[in-house]
Amino acid sequence: MSSSLDALNQWVAGVATLTKPERIQWCDGSDAEYRQLVDGMLTTGDLIALNPTTHPRSYLHRSNPSDVARVEHLTFVCTPREADAGPNNHWMDPAQAHAKVDALFDGAMQGRTMYVIPYCMGPIDSPIARCGVEITDSPYVVANMRIMTRMGAAALARIERDGSFVRGLHSTGDLDPDKRFIMHFPEELSIKSIGSGYGGNALLGKKCHALRIASHQARREGWLAEHMLIVGVEDPRGETHYIAAAFPSACGKTNLAMLIPTGGYAKDGWKVWTVGDDICWMTPGDDGRLWAINPEAGFFGVAPGTGANTNPNALATLAHDTIYTNVALTSDNQPWWEGLDDRVPAVDWQGRPYDKANGPAAHPNARFTVSARQCPSYTDKAEAAHGVPISAIVFGGRRPSLVPLVFEARDWTHGVLVGAAMGSETTAAATGAVGVMRRDSMAMKPFCGYNFADYFSHWLSFDKPGAKLPKIFHVNWFRKDTDGKFMWPGYGENLRVLEWIIRRVEGTARGIDTPIGTLPAPGGINVEGLALGQAAERALFEVDTEGWATEMTDIASYLDGFGDRLPRALRDEQQRMAAALANTAPRAWAQAV
């Protein structure tokens, strides 16, 4: 037996001694195993079978009402030195964290099955992929991990070959919010999560491994683990550019990843290919470009807001073999959520007869789990061992004012600052207030497994001789007018912006240099057929220098929070932008654009 498998067996035995399960099941990822898990959950009521005619082999899971989203205030990065976790993370001393959580794990699996899940994040044969093992007492977690990862015997064989793996221990415990912790030990490549069954807290291959632990691995090994979709855009000439885009949760990543060309774009032959909708691992190739894989095998997407007008590809993806969480039901047992259609549901997400006085029928963070291969825009490039080459990196968040529809960073360092300074309104994907503007650097605020200052330095380190780095852009689909309505139609029309981005990459689109970056020249964005109105079109492409001067002051204060570890180049870039804005007449660029 290899040393890695020996270490795995010893770890499993130790966990069993601590948690005291009734039985242990090593998961092989087979169809038969999945059916057995589903049948068991149907018997216990953990799953509800949906209408077999409209949604074959699809099921509903209802989580505890106190357990419906990520719990950032209970999520810890446990490094020996607090400074290494950084001000962007909640920190706990590793010894203290182990002691606290192990006391809760003591006997936590009594009367339950302990499942051992070997899994691979990324294509099994990809050198970019990394493996892990999750131990859990939740069959719901096992079923979801089978959809979201490459799970089972092949992953176990790779673990034996690689000689290392990320260790993830999970138990739902008694779902007591006061006994809920998600602990990360980056230097140990381990995770311990207890007291939650929600996906982001319990599917440990996802945010916990693929971002918090992997970001630490990536820094050490010279690559990037990012909260980004990967989408391929094929133009009428048959040339495909791959774009990685970072948006905070519930800000439209899945919609953009599954975009369908509209109107003239469809007629002209534009095509969009989905590689991934949430996580992107990028590594420098021999050619100097960044090559990326989607480490996931499925989508764990937000259901509310997904409809025929917003994401028809997602609806087609969800037609069968899907696990839904916290959605409502119609009278004939079909899943329903706000934004799906105009039907009135019969039962809300908590299993109560629907009454609008109780709030939304589906929880705002209701989810679907489904294989990526079911997506009509899925590309087999998602299984390419070497990944896909990234032409552009796009940052964006929910900004109702100030930030233009799109602008390009002048170089890599400026682009890193653009990503570091990114702000967005909070959404229902995490507990806490919704609609509060906060800085969410690279959309990684909840997910970076180490000090953001060191993370920014790591990003800057990729700009070296011979590198052919992607151009960096920022977009804002969420600009609002004085009536609070969105100015830009979004969804499929976002291809108009992607076209300009691609043409900038190719060097064929003109832009106007401004203190915040390069904006499209007049006519640079195709707005033919859109009823934008002159005022909206002007606002979408203006640079309010006074507003941006205030923004740069806020950014400076944000960067100050990282102290002496902040890379000097980022501070210099912020000061360069602030000086450029100070030397520009108010709203001059709005007039120019």
**Residue 553: enclosing H or E segment and its boundaries?**
helix 545-560
What dihedral do alpha carbons 370, 373, 376, 380 form, nearest 10°? 150
- Contact, 290 vs 282, CB < 8 A? yes
> What is the torsional sign of CA 142, 143, 149, 151?
positive
**Residue 467: enclosing H or E segment and its boundaries?**
none
- Burial of 21-48, coded b for 16+ CB within 10 Å and e otherwise, reads beeebebebeeebbeebbeebeeeebbb
- Contact, 234 vs 273, CB < 8 A? yes
Q: Which of 351, 359, 305, 343 is nearest to 326 (CA)?
A: 351
- Contact, 444 vs 454, CB < 8 A? no
Alpha helices in 90-198 (DSSP H): 94-105, 139-148, 153-162
Q: What SS3 class is residue 442?
A: helix
Say how far apart CA 502 and CA 233 lie, in whole Å: 9
- Contact, 347 vs 336, CB < 8 A? no
- Residue whose structure tokens are 């002209």: 268
Say how far apart CA 454 and CA 85 lie, in whole Å: 10
Catalytic residue, from 27, 120, 131, 251: name it. 251
- Contact, 196 vs 202, CB < 8 A? yes
- Tell me how long the chain is: 593
Beta-sheet pairing, 388-396 with 240-246: parallel
Say how far apart CA 591 and CA 437 lie, in whole Å: 28
Burial class (CB in 10 A: 0-12, 13-18, 19+), 317: buried
Say how far apart CA 583 and CA 462 lie, in whole Å: 31
CA distances 525 to 186, 314, 374, 406, 498, Å, are 44, 27, 32, 10, 9
Task: Please give the single-letter amino acid code of residue 417.
Answer: L
- Contact, 475 vs 462, CB < 8 A? no
Angular region, 431: left φ>0, alpha ψ -120 to 50, beta rest = beta
What DSSP line would sit under 364-386, residue for residue?
TT-EEEEEGGGSTTB-GGGG-TT
**The pair of three-digit structure tokens given for residue 347, joined into one six-digit string:** 């039962």
CA distances 533 to 399, 528, 544, Å, are 20, 12, 19
Say how far apart CA 193 and CA 168 lie, in whole Å: 8
Active site annotation includes 251: yes
> What residues are labeled active site?
251
